[in-house]
Each structure stands twice: as structure tokens, then as C-alpha cells.
Structure 1
Amino acid sequence: MMETGTAGAAELLRLAREVFHDDAAALAVVDELENRLEGPLRIAVAGMVKAGKSTLLNAIIGEEIAPTDAGECTRVVTWYRYGHTPKITLYPFRGAPQTLPVTREDGRLVFSLGDVPAEDVERLVVDWPSASLRNLTLIDTPGIASLSQDVSGRSTAFLLPEDAPTAADAVIYLMRHLHASDVRFLESFKDTAAGQSGTVNALAVLSRADEIGAGRIDSLISAAVIADRYSRDQNLKPLALGVVPVAGLLAQSSRTMRQADFDAMKLLARMDKNQRERMMLSADRFIRLEGPPGLDQAMKASLVHRFGLFGIRLGVALIRGGTMDPTELAHELARRSGLGQLLDTIGHLFQTRAEALKARAAVVGLESLLRGSPKDRKAPLEAGLERLQTGAHEFRELKLLAALRTDGVGLDAELEAEAERLVGGRGSMPALRLGLDPGTDPEHISEVARAGLNRWRLIAENPLTEPRALDACRVVLRSCEGMLASMPAVH
């Protein structure tokens, strides 16, 4: 039976513990790599300044715990992970960790670094009892290309370390439009140690998607067209697994909707349509003009701050269309914000192959440790590392995915697109690999997988298939065999 990346990485770390039994610094690295292998997948949220990182992070978690203002804490790398009780820990570059007070104002978590300057903080770790964090640790990073070189440098040092594996297994990269600076960052991320190992593990998000259509109700449709165009862009395609449009502010607020928000939108829905539209020509006008009765300026300002004009318009339209339950409205707003598609995409592309990504990170970390080690200590581990990297099928899939998205493997475009899908380019579940609906009957999935296996066997046996394409065929065949082995027997 072929060794899996996870089992192989765990065994190599066990061996490393024996080899470095008398080296405290090396054992600390092994401890960290073991924790990483056993813990949840780590996803960093990155992007330029004001791309909406903290807002989107709150939407994914389902609570407003990441600060979205321009305070000191947005200059610090902050980890959000699952914990039974709320806790905030500050890790300085020098000295012992400190526990910070957990305080909330108006439902939001408030961070205070006390007397520690932001530049002295290596990271903040927030433990939070959110179901969304059980299988996922999210890492909020300061804005890249910040006016402050120190702030921008923090993100660069964390996401693009020069001589160590990056601490994130994957990256959600937010952009408002596709700029050269976005492409440059993603190229740099792909060139880190993890990237050089043949892994494309970034997902691009077209954040603030509602701004593309100037806040109109159909803004997300316009944004989806642009996101699709970006996903086929020859500069971006080799660097990101896809582009998803999300109205971040609406995504966050729909997940934290209050009864008062619903009641306010209901009052707006009862207004004369022409009067309401005139009032909503701008945010300033909406807040300033009087009406409807029962809705004061403070509440209107709160609605704009939380939902934006796009969210307010959409909420009012849904209420007028018959959505009269606050929970139902919140779910529908979340769906229409693009959050559902983003969560599905994170699930398909990252969480279904979490074990492979974590094992890949452990291997890269071990390689980094061995680079500075004496020869006699390297020898027992290097052979095992090489064996694992060539033998673990998950790693071969990740490597082929990267090759297919960059230089290709010598097959025609249609076959390369099919190969990319079969090795998990659109998600790791068998149905997604085969281009079928996730709810497809297992029997039909088995039939399609068998047909794919036979078709790729013929391609592999064709004497005209060139050598590098033949290697790709072998990986695809193994993926088809794996799908068939995972399905119930067809009688």
C-alpha cells in the first residue's frame, strides 16, 4: 500500500526526534512541526491595505472579533483559533507571553496591547469558541504595501520567510482589482519554500465586490463576470486556484444581523419606492434626509456602517419580496454576498486536502531544519524525505497541479484541463474531480471514474505520448484508482 503524506511525515518527525535528541533548538522545531501536522489547517488572510481582510475574516468566523478599524492591532499578525473559552495572548519578540483582557463593546471584541508597542509584538493569538474555527485556524495579516514599511514588512516576513517554511498552509488573497502588485505578491508566495516544492495554495478573492456595480442590487453579477475573467488571466492563473467575488461588509453583517437591523429595513421597505430611491442616492444623503417615521439618523448611520447601501438595498428588496423572518433574511443576505461560494471553495480546495497541505508543510519544515545540520544527522532523514516526496500520491497531485497551471505537461488543452480537475484542481471529493454534482449517486460516480481510468490508460499506452505527459498520466491514473477504491462496490 502506498504511504500517505501524513503518515510518512509523522514517521519522519518521529525519526527526527531521535536524531536530534540532544539538540534543544532542533527539538523545538520538531515540536512545532508535529503540532502543525496534528492541528487544524492554517489559512492566512492577506492583501493590500483596505482590501477588507478583517471584515472577511469576521464573516468566515461568524462573529465580529477581528478589529476592522485602523488601530494598533491591525498592525500585528493575529491568529484566530478554536478554544473552549475566550482568551487573548500577546507574544512579544522578547520576553514571556502575556494574557490580555477580553472585553467587548457593542458586541465587538476590543483589543488593547497595554503598554507594549505594536512593533514589539511578534503575534497575537485569539482562542475563541466558534464552530467555524474547529477545523481551521485563520491568520489575519497587516496590509501589504502599507505606507508604513514596518507594517508592510511584518506581513512580508510572515508570509514570505527567506529561510523557513511559511507558517500558513494556504492563503486567501484579497484584492479590489487585479494590480501588478497583487501578481507580484502571489509570485513571491509561490516562490517560498512551500511554493518551490510544487504547490499552488492561494485563493484570490475579489473583495468589496458590491463596489464594482456602484452598490446596485446586481453588483455581484458584474463582479462574478470580472472574477471569471481574472481567473483565466494568464498572469494570475498559475498563482491562484480561483477567484471568488465577495461583498465583504455584507458577508460580515449578515452573519451578525440583529433584530434592530431587520426592523429598520422593514420600515424602509414600507416607504414609497421613489422617495426611498431618491434618499439612497448616496450614503450621506441616506443618513441626512428625514424618514421614514421611526428610523432616526443614528440607526441609519449604523445600517450604512454595517451593511453599506448595497446591503440595505438588497435587504429591503428581499423584505418587499416576502422575506419576513430575520433569520431567513440573514441567510439570504449571506448567500447573496458571495460568502457561501467562498466557504464552499475553501472547503473544496483546501479543507478536503488539509492533511496533504499540512504534511507538505511539515516536510518543507524538516528540509529547512536539515539544511543547517551536520552531515551525520542529515543522512538518516534525507533518504526518507526523498522517498516520501516521490512516493506520496498527495504530493504528486499537488506538484502536477502546479505544473498544469504553469508550463503544462505536453498534452492538448482539453486533456490538461481534465487532468487538472481529476487531480483535485476544483476540489478533492470524487464528484468534483469528475465534474459531477456533489450529490451524484455513488454508483454513477464509480461508472464515470472507471470510464476516466480506461480513457487515461489508453493515453498512457499511446506510443506518441511524450515522457513528461506520461508522468502526468500516471498521476491521473492513480487518482482515478483512488476514487474507485473510495467508492462503495458497484453490484
Structure 2
Amino acid sequence: MSTSISAGVADLIQDALALYADDPVAVASLQGYATRLSEPLRIAVAGMVKAGKSTLLNAIIGEEIAPTDTGECTRIVTWYRYGHTSKITLFPVEGEPRILPFKRVDGRLVFVLGGSRAEDVERLVVEWPSQSLRQITLIDTPGIASLSGDVSARSTDFLTPADAPSEADAIIYLMRHMHASDLRFLESFRDTEGGRSGTVNALAVLSRADEIGAGRIDSLLSAGDIADRYRRDHSLRKLALGVVPVAGLLAQSARTMRQADFESLRLLSGMDRPARERLLLSADRFVRATGPEGLDAKAKASLLERFGLFGIRLGVVLIRSGFTEPTPLAHELARRSGLDPLLHLVDRQFQARADALKARTAMVGLEALLRTAPREGTGELAVGLERLQANAHEFRELRLLATIRTTGISLSDELTEEAERLIGGWGAAPGVRVGLAPDSPPEEILAQARGYLKRWRIVAENPLTDRSAVEVCRVVTRSCEGIVAEFSSLQLQRQ
């Protein structure tokens, strides 16, 4: 997002702070929006109970720091943000925040709540020196549609407040299958104050994808076919920017692989194939049956808990295929888990638009304040806010993307697909927008952008193009002009 737009949002917030200086509640909200402009993007991980939220969050971070059991901590909204030192802070519903002690048990982080009940805790904030958290803040939320109404309410109230922007700038939503309750929640998130600004800012994850094929080695292929079908489903397509299958348990364990895990997999890979296949017929048989030599029941149970049958089978196949060292094996397992495509989508769809998403949140919050608590001087602020929203091309792109994915536009399917890509629907990087690889040579990106610019100008000038489609053409043309201007400048600098 351009510096002028960022500065414009910040200036409006400062003007509002001066106007509402005597209102402590409004001042706190406005200061929060100002802070969000400079903080990393906030991405919430949401989904039904046992969808694998904490497991996937651990995989993204690359460390087992999010509790994955069914204890009190999984019923609390927990923030994971970068910190130079490790620290966990408990914010109670009433009272002052306090630092929590923590410990490692079998390599996993355990929070010590000290007798606090989940219902008495507003949030936990975990500060951790992980490189993965430098650019994003991840928020783990309790399960939606839980048998406990209080647990469900915590997530829905946090993510879909009635009269304020969501605490999250974007959502990674996990689902094991596409149920009506999943669609209802995503619709609620879209219908929040932030969603009504015209933005689709959710990614759907087909979680526990290895279970779709009953743990078979080709489970991710089957899950990929289902994800493709969901991706084309109109009900979901208008609510999520993409659908990715991920074997969360495998992703977490691959990113946190231990030497003992590798040694266990290596022993299994040395067995005769018929004996190994009999051993891996079921989880119960795997733990109870004898063999291979050197791998006892306790080690098998640990391996099963960390990788599941799918991960064990895949790990053994990869070792026999030449991945005979722990680090290359871990990287390949993570890639095969589906984690890499998810991280790529998060980067393309969220990180590349981080400034625009954060600014949109701040503007929505300011708009809600001006509407619900008007006073002398708010009219001028509202005009400035409306002008900024109308003139910011990034917001026009976001609104058009939402229109394409919901009501549709009056252009051919080919042009609609092209428009969606050019305005950043497949990723905001210039190379991706013009149908090339993100790291394509600048001269290729420039040439491609010029071609699209010419094409869309012709479409806009065609007398058969109706008025609504002409407005679409203007947005797409402006996106192309931005790429051309950027890469023409780079070309001049090189001369």
C-alpha cells in the first residue's frame, strides 16, 4: 500500500483521537487501531472442535508451543507473537495481567495456569523468539460449535463481533469436511464490520487430510481432489480465497522431527516389505506386534502419536527412496504434508496485502466509532474517511475481488478469471498477477503487463461492454498501470 494511504489512515486516527480525547473508551479503541497499523498482520486459526487448529499452528511456527490436548488452555483465545525472550502473559477478565510459568514435557510446551479457570481468562499472549512470528501474529481460538456453549461463544465473539472490526485481520479456517456450520461461520466472518468493507480474507484448510484416505500413502491425492471440488463450490468460493489439504499432524512432526523419530523410521524401513505392510495394517497391530528388533512398544506408541500411520508409511517410503538423513527427510515430509502450499497461499494472499488488510481494519473501526458515537466534527472526519476509501486503489481491488467471488461480473468467464488474477486474487506479487512466476525477470513481467494493459483498455472502449463491466475494466487497467509504472521505473534505474 502506498505511503500516502498509510499516512492518510494514521492522520485520520490522530484527528479522531483529538476529537474524542474526553472519551476513554473511544481513545483506547483508536489507539488500538493505530497500533495495529505498525504491528505484524494478525491471522486467526479457527475451526470446529478437533479440527487440528493447534497442531497446524505448531506446524506453521515450527515448534510445539501450542497445547494440543483437551485441557483448559485449548478453551482460551491464545496469541502467539514474536518476542526476543520467551514469555507467557495471562490477561484475566478481571484484574491485572500476570506472567505464567511454563515447562517442557516430552518436548512440548506446557502452560501452568496456576488454578485459573478458562472462563476467567480473557486471553493468553505467548511471546516467542521464532522467525516464523516476525511477520505475522497467530491467534489460536477455541473450537466453534463445541458442546460447551461458552467455548463456542469465545471464538465467535472474538472473531465476529457485532459492532466492531474483528481482532483478526485474516483467518485460516480448518474443516474436516464442508458442513453447513462451517459455511455459517465463514458467512458470519464475512458479515462483520470488516467483511462488509468488501473483502474476502479467509483461507480454508481441509485439515487432517491424511484421514480422508484412511492413512493410505495416496491420501493427500484424494484430499487434493476433494479440495479442488470444494474450491469450485460457489457457496465456499465466495467466502474463502482458496482451499488447501494439509496433514496437520505430519506437518507438525516433520517441522519438529527428533533424532529418535528418524531412528525409529529407519528401523522400520529395514524390514522386509510384506512384514512391514502387515505391521502397518492398523494402529493397534503396529503397537502390539513384535518387531523390528530395537523398536519397542513405547517407541512405536510415540511414533504413532507424532506421525500417525500415514506419516509412518510415508516416512518409510521416503527413506527407502534415498532420504537417508534426518534433515532432508524432515523437509520432504513437510512438503508432502501440504504445509508448503498453505504457507505459500498465506504469503501470496495475506502477507502481500498486509498493509491494505490492516488499514482496512483501522478504517472500519473508525467508521463504526463515527457512526455509533457522533459528535460535532465527526462529519468532516467521515468525509475524509469516505474520500480515502474511494481513492485507494488497493481497496478497490479488494472490493472487486469480493464482487467477483460473490455476485459475479458481466464479463466472459475467460475475462473474469483474468481480471481476478490481475487484481491479485491469485496472489498480489506482480509476476503472479500477470501469469508468470513471482521471481520472473523484470523485463518479462513488464512486457506481460503492457500486453494486458492494452487488452483491457480495448475491452473498456468496446461499445458492447456494459457500464458495470467498464468500471471493472477501470480497476483492472489501474492495476496493470501500477505494474507497468513500477517495472518501467526499475528498468530506467538499471540503464
Aligned to 1:476: 476
Cα distance in structure 2, aligned partners of 1:3 and 1:439 = 24
Aligned to 2:117: 117
- Of 56-65 and 440-449, deviating more is 440-449
Cα distance in structure 1, aligned partners of 2:3 and 2:248 = 41
Q: How far did 1:20 drift? A: 2.0
- Of 112-121 and 270-279, deviating more is 112-121
* Superimposed CA distance per residue, residues 387-416 of structure 1 (whole angstroms, 9 cap, x where no aligned partner): 011001111110000001011121111111
Does the CA contact (< 8 Å) of 1:3 and 1:388 recur in 2? no
Cα distance in structure 2, aligned partners of 1:177 and 1:372 = 39
Aligned to 2:460: 460
Pairing 1:111-150 to 2, within 5 Å after superposition: 111-150=111-150
Q: How far did 1:5 drift? A: 3.7
Pairing 1:122-271 to 2, within 5 Å after superposition: 122-271=122-271
Q: Which amino acid aligns with 1:214?
A: A
Pairing 1:98-117 to 2, within 5 Å after superposition: 98-117=98-117
Aligned to 2:402: 402
Aligned to 1:329: 329
Does the CA contact (< 8 Å) of 1:143 and 1:151 recur in 2? yes
Q: How far did 1:68 drift? A: 0.3
Q: How far did 1:224 drift? A: 0.8
Aligned to 2:97: 97
- Of 58-67 and 179-188, deviating more is 179-188
Cα distance in structure 2, aligned partners of 1:87 and 1:65 = 12
Tell me the secondary structure at the aligned position of residue 45 of structure 1: strand
2:317 is the alignment partner of 1:338: no
Q: Which amino acid aligns with 1:132?
A: S
Does the CA contact (< 8 Å) of 1:160 and 1:192 recur in 2? yes
TM-score by length of 1: 0.98
- Of 200-209 and 369-378, deviating more is 369-378
Tell me the secondary structure at the aligned position of residue 240 of structure 2: coil
Q: Which amino acid aligns with 1:205?
A: V
Aligned to 1:354: 354
Aligned to 2:368: 368
Q: How far did 1:64 drift? A: 0.2
Q: 1:186 to 1:270 in 2, by over 3 A?
A: same
Cα distance in structure 2, aligned partners of 1:4 and 1:374 = 27
Aligned to 1:427: 427
Aligned to 2:491: 489
Structure 1 residues not aligned, in runs of 5+: none
Tell me the secondary structure at the aligned position of residue 235 of structure 1: helix
2:465 is the alignment partner of 1:443: no
* Superimposed CA distance per residue, residues 341-379 of structure 1 (whole angstroms, 9 cap, x where no aligned partner): 110110000000100000000001111221222331312
- Of 362-371 and 194-203, deviating more is 362-371
Cα distance in structure 1, aligned partners of 2:333 and 2:2 = 46
Tell me the secondary structure at the aligned position of residue 113 of structure 1: coil
Q: How far did 1:482 drift? A: 0.8
Q: 1:3 to 1:100 in 2, by over 3 A?
A: closer
* Superimposed CA distance per residue, residues 64-84 of structure 1 (whole angstroms, 9 cap, x where no aligned partner): 000000000100100000001
- Of 87-96 and 481-490, deviating more is 481-490
Does the CA contact (< 8 Å) of 1:173 and 1:203 recur in 2? yes
Cα distance in structure 2, aligned partners of 1:442 and 1:147 = 54
Tell me the secondary structure at the aligned position of residue 7 of structure 1: helix
Q: Which amino acid aligns with 2:480?
A: C
* Superimposed CA distance per residue, residues 291-348 of structure 1 (whole angstroms, 9 cap, x where no aligned partner): 1000010000000000001101111001111111100000000000001111011000
Q: Which amino acid aligns with 2:285?
A: R
Does the CA contact (< 8 Å) of 1:5 and 1:356 recur in 2? no
Cα distance in structure 2, aligned partners of 1:174 and 1:5 = 33
* Superimposed CA distance per residue, residues 217-245 of structure 1 (whole angstroms, 9 cap, x where no aligned partner): 11111111110110000110100000001
Q: Which amino acid aligns with 1:141?
A: T
Tell me the secondary structure at the aligned position of residue 84 of structure 2: coil
Tell me the secondary structure at the aligned position of residue 127 of structure 1: strand
Does the CA contact (< 8 Å) of 1:55 and 1:249 recur in 2? yes
Tell me the secondary structure at the aligned position of residue 88 of structure 1: strand
TM-score by length of 2: 0.97
Q: 1:470 to 1:270 in 2, by over 3 A?
A: same
Q: Which amino acid aligns with 1:270?
A: G
Aligned to 1:299: 299
Does the CA contact (< 8 Å) of 1:59 and 1:248 recur in 2? yes
Q: Which amino acid aligns with 1:50?
A: K
